[in-house]
Amino acid sequence: MTNEEVKYGLAGVLADDTAISKVMPEINSLTYRGYKVQDLATQCRFEEVAYLIWNGKLPTEAQLGAFNEVEKKERGVSDDLLDVMAKFNKKAHPMDTLRTAVSFLDQEDDTTEDSSPEGLMEKSIRMYARIPEIVAADFRLRNGKEPIPPKKDLAFSENFFHMCFGKVPAPEIIKCFDISMTLYAEHSFNASTFTARTIASSTSDIYSAVTGAIGSLKGPLHGGANEAVMHMLKEVGSPENAKEWMLDALATKKKIMGFGHRVYRSGDSRVPTMTDAYKKMVDVIGTDEAKNYWEMSRILDETMVAEKGIYPNLDFPAGPAYYLMGFEIPMFTPIFVVSRITGWTAHVMEQLANNKLIRPLSNYTGPAQRDVTPIGARE
């Protein structure tokens, strides 16, 4: 095998079939089950999109009502899990907490080994319902506060804010968050999804697949990028510094987060929708801080496009949007999981419906075959 035959990073490799999502180059748009994601984000609640990703079709009002009732019944993690979380190392990254907590959900579930379609769906909805509470509880515990239990009369996004802050914010903030949930929900064979499918292909359980996916998503080249964007904006400091900062970063070949995408060539189709929601939220918040972050983002975006023709990806508007909602920076990637649990579990179910063990080849570059020298004769 020659180096030319190796597809490093599996770039361009078709690994399997999927009916869940696709970036359609002819319209430069990410689609879920054939629907443009920007249309879903603006016209549907996240609960509808979760139903679509798992079931292949948008729900009727009756179907959505029944689906939401099942999710609400699954809300509420055990006191045992909350007690364990209270003892976790507060200096560890929240993704470490989340990864361990999902493993704990596995320990508590007597149906872990049930990989029937019905069993997989039940566990998918269970994680969809309980991961938001885990993320919110960790957020509060790290700040010396007691976790707030979920409210079953609140919709998905409203309930998450309630569990984090004890209140539901303005509709524009909820809308911005809900849109981000839809936009982050699924993205074909990315690193974390492929990790989940690889684990599932060994016929391990769905909790193990999700735990592995969380580990993959933690990386700053994947899910951690939205955190890096916010750190970058804090380094820029003010709108007045933004253009000069970007020009200097380009000149010195500094790593600039939130721009470019391995799949999109003409700009990330999710960005305009998220940016519009971010701007509407900024207008409602109305503080100087919110206006400054918006203006910094705008100038950095314009400068990068003008200088390099490279467009922002979803992490670029999502990072400051989450920050202005009141979430701490290390919480951004766990929030990603609150959304992406839908896509991951859909892929696990799809993998197991027509499973083949994922076992690629490798191009060996080590020493040629050699004999073992007795230890006394080695140099």
Identify the pLDDT of residue 4.
Answer: 67
Q: At what angle do helices 239-251 and 225-236 cross, to 10 degrees?
A: 110
Identify the pLDDT of residue 3.
Answer: 60
CB 307 within 8 A of CB 249: no
Task: Name the superfamily (CATH) of residues 225-325.
Answer: Cytochrome P450-Terp, domain 2 (1.10.230.10)
CATH code assigned to 36-220+331-353: 1.10.580.10
Pure H helices in 286-367: 288-308, 315-325, 332-353
Identify the pLDDT of residue 265.
Answer: 64
User: Of 138, 205, 268, 315, which one is the catalytic site residue?
Assistant: 315
Identify the pLDDT of residue 12.
Answer: 83
Q: How far, in Å, CA of 307 to CA of 347, rounded?
A: 38
Domain boundaries, the chain: 36-220+331-353, 225-325
Smallest CA-to-CA distance from 18 within 265, 268, 346 is with: 346
Q: How far, in Å, CA of 295 to CA of 240, rounded?
A: 9
347 labelled catalytic:
no
Q: pTM for this one?
A: 0.94
User: Of 162, 178, 187, 261, which one is the catalytic site residue?
Assistant: 261
**What SS3 state is found at 371?**
coil
261 labelled catalytic:
yes
pLDDT profile of the chain (379 residues), mean per 10: 77 91 86 97 98 98 98 98 96 97 97 97 98 98 97 97 98 98 95 97 98 94 88 96 97 91 74 96 97 97 95 94 97 97 98 96 94 95
276 labelled catalytic:
no
Identify the pLDDT of residue 163.
Answer: 98
Dihedral sign (CA 82, 223, 249, 252): positive
**Residue owning tokens 């029937």:** 116
Q: How far, in Å, CA of 133 to CA of 129, rounded?
A: 8
CB 317 within 8 A of CB 183: no
Identify the pLDDT of residue 107.
Answer: 96
User: Of 93, 96, 222, 276, which one is the catalytic site residue?
Assistant: 222
Encoding tokens for residue 132? Answer: 């938001």
Identify the pLDDT of residue 316.
Answer: 94
